[in-house]
Structure 1
Amino acid sequence: MSPRILLTGIPGHYTRLIQRAEDSRVFYSEKQPQPETKEAYMRELKNISNTGNYLIGEGALRALSPDATHIPFWHLYNAVNNGTGLDSINKQFDICVFTCANLLRKSLSADAEAQVLAKLDMPVVMLGIGIQNRPDLEESLPEGTQRLLQVLKEKEHYFLTRGDETAAYLKDQGFSFVRPVGCPSMYFMPANMRRAIRRLPDVKVGEGRTVFTGYMGAALDTIGDMNALSSDDGRSAYVIQDEPLHFDMQIEPDEEGRVYDSTSGEMIGDLAFKGQDELKKNIKVHTFFDTNQWRAWTSSMDFSFGRRFHGNIIALQSGVPSLIVAVDDRMREMLNFSGLPKVEAEDLNSANDRSAFISDHLAQMNIPQVIEKYSDRERSFRSVLTEIGIG
């Protein structure tokens, strides 16, 4: 008999439709949000903090057996703290899959996670757990995160990590079941991922429709990318993930009071960001809160390039050739483990001609080797889920 799987943690975009939750039941609205005013747009962004995170929950739900049921983490947290408790949850489910990301970092204390998982009377799978920066592991992690690790050590636990560095750290901490698997988002549409990688040698850098991701508003690197790699015909675009929340991108409504067109995903208000005067190309700016809409729009592009992991993963899912710029240890762990196409930020930033550098980089890539490694990682991921009994 298949285990009854409780899926919680980082959600997919379907969480936007949740009206309420009672015990182990979740009630969804049939009405899609249309966050076109500034207030509604910012509220949607705050609900997930980074729209790229939706790919994590979505990838997890696709990978698990049909017996998996998503319960929003906020509902479990509220039940623990308002006296309702988790008795009904413990009766309804046999195992919990907790989707996470760069949880092991000094800037986050996982107090809420520790509190909730301590009340679950079932094994816990930490799916996609990873680091932010290697030096964080050399210091003491925040108290709440240490408490979470202790809670998990006292349970039947399964750690499926983003890569080898996190796996080595957790093994050193004495955890018994630790497997590096990558991020579940990487295995959401594997056939499209492989097709996108095969198309990389055909990319004509600086021509066609290119979609960019990065940290516009925080640094000038992304603006340099767009100036060097986008075409002159205004057909390239940039996709926001969290810049108005965390990187000082300012948005103001147009004369109709709108900042966002929910049909096209295009930002239509006034945007202001650091280095705006340095941007020499005509770039349209988009945001997507529905990953299906995001993939459908991205599928019309010719190339994806940027400094965001999930902003490029969704392009690969869409069959669009993508090159990911590795900007930190969090990304390097996932990219080194998966073998997905990457370039180091330091090498890119120091190139005199970024367009020629990227063209040469793509030409030198061993595409069959990249696909072989990715396919091996995908098989391993599904094998581990089957081993646990949740695949």
Structure 2
Amino acid sequence: MKNILIRSNLSPFDTFDATKVILENSIGGNVGNLVYQYSVFRTFLKENTTITPDYYDFNPSRADEINEKYDCYVIPLADAFRQSFVPSLRKYTQLIKKLKIPVVVIGVGLRAPFEPDLNKGFDFDNDVKNFVSAVLEKSNMIGLRGEITSDYLSQLGFKEGVDHTVIGCPSMYTFGRELNIRNTSITKDSMVTVNSSPLSPRHVHDFIHRGMKEYSNHYFIPQWKKELLMTYVGAPSVRDDNTKYPQKMSDKVYMENRVRYFLNVKTWIDFIKKADLSFGARLHGNITATISGTPSLIIPKDARMRELTNYHGLTHIWAGDITEDTKLSDVIEKSDFHSPEKKQAQNFDHFIDFLNKNNLDHIYKETNNPAHIPFDKQLALVDHQSPVHPISGCSVEEMVTRWERYYPAANIKQDQQLKNQQKKIKKLEGNLNRKSVRATLKAANFIAEMKRK
């Protein structure tokens, strides 16, 4: 029996409800994180394998426990090379240095502007160097999301093809070597799923808004945790910036009950399979459609989306090519929705080669088309939570149920956090008092010594 520890705060077999997901941040701030983690679970789960989520507990003090319990630590990451992730990167580095088992990083990327100047470097360069060096002591090679990240690590002194290689996003390999994107007839009556990012430029929000008007049978699929909170209990609003991004409960798409927030990948895939098109500015919102066989159009907004769009051949329109006159129907007319299929086989083979170089066991070891997939068998036994509909579209009874479920639990969590903060403050005060006493005694002894002289 092999025991794998995986970086994940939610197993595909967990059935956390909205309250638990919100209060424990089981999605790491963005439900899109679940998609690439889902893929890694499916790829590595075999009859003789147990996969355990670390539930984002990567405290260096766990090193002895991890060494004792697990045979390998698999760390799928997104755009972890960014300033806001530095504290976590440092903790991971400390932990990895203490581990005696293999540690494999799958799919890490750099967060940077659409056209980054890698020669200038970043404030977190040393932290990235330390992290990558620690990982390479525990594995043969690190897997990157795209060429921009590869160029960045090469700038830092790591060798492409030796220390690191581009594998793209593991989510693209969820169902193996083949992609089969459906030929759908996209008409004004088609069901369309929409995703967007508050961080996209205003003109991209305008384009998405116009597209939703063109295709009225649409469903908006938000991904931020704060959007789940607003969808579930009605407040607070996500933003207030006068853009056309759906950001408050009074927005039309919420009031018309055309929002679905997914708590797991299984129901997300099942829903998006019914659509004729997915479009928007979210990476995993559109990748979920792509691996489900649904035509998808992505609007990359930064380097991390750009490098993945290029590597996987995702059907796209660049934000810089969008004007106030750009219509979604015209873009659809010119788009090749089968573009991702053309790169899939070669990318998948390279991904499997990466896994093999790191001595990782997986379901594709013997064949690219395994007849028996343990993950699928186990997943079929799970009764997954349904997607969350906006509270504005619920019955009064459902509203009350949500409020009575969420707010008492939120108050308990808030009280616990306050108690923890008070303990920390008391500890700091104690340390300061001890330091003050030591300093006073030291000063008194110094004065007494001077007087004796």
Alignment TM class, shorter chain as reference: 0.7 to 0.9
Per mean C-alpha deviation after superposition, the further-off stretch among 231-240 and 125-134 is 231-240
SS at match of 2:85: coil
Report if the CA contact (8 A) 2:146-2:168 is conserved: yes
**1:8 equivalenced with 2:36 (yes/no):** no
Structure 1 residue 103: deviation in Å? 1.4
Using a 3 Å threshold, how does the CA distance of structure 1 residues 358 and 236 change in structure 2: closer, same or farther? same
Please tell me the residue identity of whatever aligns with 2:53: P
- Rounded to whole Å, the distance in 2 between the matches of 1:359 and 1:339 is 16
Residues 285-364 of structure 1: matches in 2 within 5 Å? Answer: 285-348=259-322, 350-362=323-335
Structure 1 residue 318: deviation in Å? 2.1
One of 58, 77, 83 as aligned partner of 2:58: 77
Structure with the greater alpha carbon radius of gyration = 2
Please tell me the residue identity of whatever aligns with 1:299: K
- Rounded to whole Å, the distance in 1 between the matches of 2:76 and 2:317 is 27
Structure 2 unaligned segments of length 5 or more: list them. Answer: 246-250, 363-453
Per mean C-alpha deviation after superposition, the further-off stretch among 298-307 and 282-291 is 282-291
Please tell me the residue identity of whatever aligns with 1:77: F
Using a 3 Å threshold, how does the CA distance of structure 1 residues 357 and 137 change in structure 2: closer, same or farther? farther
TM-score (norm 1): 0.75
**1:128 equivalenced with 2:107 (yes/no):** yes
Find the counterpart in structure 2 of residue 33 from structure 1. Answer: 16
Please tell me the residue identity of whatever aligns with 1:379: D
Report if the CA contact (8 A) 2:11-2:53 is conserved: no
**1:377 equivalenced with 2:377 (yes/no):** no
Please tell me the residue identity of whatever aligns with 2:79: N
By percentage of residues, which structure has more helix? Answer: 2
Please list the CA deviations of residues 193-252 of structure 1 after superposition, one character each: whole Å capped at 9, or x if unmatched. Answer: 7322x52xx44264411111112587645652443223678531111100626xxx983x
Find the counterpart in structure 1 of residue 91 from structure 2. Answer: 112
**1:152 equivalenced with 2:135 (yes/no):** yes
Please list the CA deviations of residues 336-369 of structure 1 after superposition, one character each: whole Å capped at 9, or x if unmatched. Answer: 1111212111212x1513224313431xx384x6
Please tell me the residue identity of whatever aligns with 1:288: F
Report if the CA contact (8 A) 2:207-2:326 is conserved: no
Structure 1 residue 187: deviation in Å? 0.8
**1:138 equivalenced with 2:120 (yes/no):** yes
Structure 1 residue 150: deviation in Å? 3.3
Give identity over the alignment, percent. Answer: 22
Using a 3 Å threshold, how does the CA distance of structure 1 residues 156 and 273 change in structure 2: closer, same or farther? closer
Structure 1 unaligned segments of length 5 or more: list them. Answer: 18-31, 252-258, 261-266
Structure 1 residue 138: deviation in Å? 3.5
Structure 1 residue 111: deviation in Å? 1.6
Find the counterpart in structure 2 of residue 28 from structure 1. Answer: none
Using a 3 Å threshold, how does the CA distance of structure 1 residues 131 and 309 change in structure 2: closer, same or farther? same
Report if the CA contact (8 A) 1:205-1:358 is conserved: no
Report if the CA contact (8 A) 2:148-2:303 is conserved: no
By percentage of residues, which structure has more strand? Answer: 1
Report if the CA contact (8 A) 1:205-1:229 is conserved: no
Per mean C-alpha deviation after superposition, the further-off stretch among 100-109 and 297-306 is 100-109
Using a 3 Å threshold, how does the CA distance of structure 1 residues 180 and 235 change in structure 2: closer, same or farther? same
Structure 1 residue 123: deviation in Å? 2.8
Please tell me the residue identity of whatever aligns with 1:354: K
Using a 3 Å threshold, how does the CA distance of structure 1 residues 205 and 305 change in structure 2: closer, same or farther? farther
- Rounded to whole Å, the distance in 2 between the matches of 1:118 and 1:174 is 18
Using a 3 Å threshold, how does the CA distance of structure 1 residues 315 and 44 change in structure 2: closer, same or farther? farther
Find the counterpart in structure 2 of residue 29 from structure 1. Answer: none
Using a 3 Å threshold, how does the CA distance of structure 1 residues 277 and 150 change in structure 2: closer, same or farther? closer
- Rounded to whole Å, the distance in 2 between the matches of 1:13 and 1:315 is 21
**1:240 equivalenced with 2:222 (yes/no):** yes
Structure 1 residue 185: deviation in Å? 0.4
Find the counterpart in structure 2 of residue 59 from structure 1. Answer: 39
Structure 1 residue 273: deviation in Å? 5.0
Find the counterpart in structure 2 of residue 187 from structure 1. Answer: 173
Please tell me the residue identity of whatever aligns with 1:86: A
- Rounded to whole Å, the distance in 2 between the matches of 1:366 and 1:284 is 25
Using a 3 Å threshold, how does the CA distance of structure 1 residues 351 and 243 change in structure 2: closer, same or farther? farther
One of 155, 158, 161 as aligned partner of 1:174: 158
- Rounded to whole Å, the distance in 2 between the matches of 1:244 and 1:168 is 34
SS at match of 1:341: coil
Using a 3 Å threshold, how does the CA distance of structure 1 residues 114 and 387 change in structure 2: closer, same or farther? closer
- Rounded to whole Å, the distance in 1 between the matches of 2:7 and 2:123 is 20
Structure 1 residue 161: deviation in Å? 0.8
Using a 3 Å threshold, how does the CA distance of structure 1 residues 240 and 356 change in structure 2: closer, same or farther? closer
Using a 3 Å threshold, how does the CA distance of structure 1 residues 170 and 145 change in structure 2: closer, same or farther? closer
Report if the CA contact (8 A) 1:5-1:95 is conserved: yes
SS at match of 1:71: strand
- Rounded to whole Å, the distance in 2 between the matches of 1:217 and 1:75 is 25
- Rounded to whole Å, the distance in 2 between the matches of 1:357 and 1:161 is 34
Structure 1 residue 292: deviation in Å? 0.7
Please tell me the residue identity of whatever aligns with 2:264: D
Structure 1 residue 333: deviation in Å? 0.8
Find the counterpart in structure 2 of residue 165 from structure 1. Answer: 148
Report if the CA contact (8 A) 1:6-1:70 is conserved: yes
How many residues in Structure 1 have an aligned counterpart in Structure 2?
343
One of 211, 232, 246 as aligned partner of 1:229: 211
- Rounded to whole Å, the distance in 1 between the matches of 2:203 and 2:257 is 15
The CA RMSD over aligned residues, in Å, is 3.4
